[in-house]
Amino acid sequence: MPDQKKAIRVMLIDCRPLVLMGLQDLINAKRPRMEVGGQASTYAYALDLADQLRPDVVFFSFFPDALSPLEVVAELARRAEMKLLVLKGLYESVPVAQAIEAGARGVVLAEDPTESIVQAIINVHHRDIGLDRAWAGGLSNYAANGHVHLKCNPEQPKQARLTVRERELIRAIVEDPSAKYMSIAEHLGISEHTVHNHLSSIYQKLNLINRMDLLMYALKHGLTGGEESPESTWVELDRGSRQDAQLLRGA
């Protein structure tokens, strides 16, 4: 487990000086918890710099370059000590599912609140989770294409405590991760206050912190359809499936 007291060393990869400056200011403002160790504006330099710095977290953006961004993601992901977060603009076309397949651990929307971005860095470093709305869409597509692996579900006792109404709320959030609470309330025919009450209950039962955690949990453990939860399965990205997919693409 990573040292909770040691500063998280972050490396930034983006071709836009303004984005690099903004991320650096945001992250360095959180010293001593985290700090930017270096930044690169080309993928070739990023690979060299990563070897030198050995950062804990790499903030990665997709942009035109001589090297393939997905190949760079895969190369960085092979270095086990580094965890990749992909930075995606709301209207940017980024192959989220392929980035996950290549080894990215999370996807963060550039339009999200700064504290959400900071929390994603902390989560992916300490808990191997760095999920947001963009990841949800990519992971859903990834699972739909069959790149999943079924295993025993140790979460079943906690999931069994969820009510039918709470499961409906979870499905509504997964179906539209960016929906406002008022919209969810209208969709379910309940008040916004009741939505918040249900969410508090869900967080307590599943030992979660916030909506981002709930979204990741629901996708990972299959709480996305039907009123009953799976009795003995949960969905996990399987590295064997990743390798098979890579072989198929190279065929």
Contact 208, 214 (CB under 8 A): yes
Amino acid at 35: E
* Total length of the chain: 251
Residues 8-64 have pLDDT tens digits of: 999 999 999 999 999 999 999 999 999 999 999 999 999 999 999 999 999 999 999
Instruction: State how far the alpha carbon of 192 is from the alpha carbons of 112, 154, 166, 181, 204, in Å.
Output: 22, 32, 14, 6, 19
The span from the CA of 246 to the CA of 5, in Å, is 38
Task: Tell me the backbone φ, ψ of residue 142, rounded to 5 degrees.
Answer: -65, -45
Domains and CATH numbers, the chain: 8-144 (3.40.50.2300), 153-232 (1.10.10.10)
Give the list of residues 6+ apart from residue 9 with CB closer than 8 angstroms, or none.
34, 35, 37, 53, 54, 55, 56, 57
The span from the CA of 68 to the CA of 127, in Å, is 28
Ordered mean pLDDT values, 10 residues apiece, the chain (251 residues) = 76 96 96 95 94 94 92 86 87 81 83 86 73 48 44 68 87 84 89 91 88 83 56 31 36 35
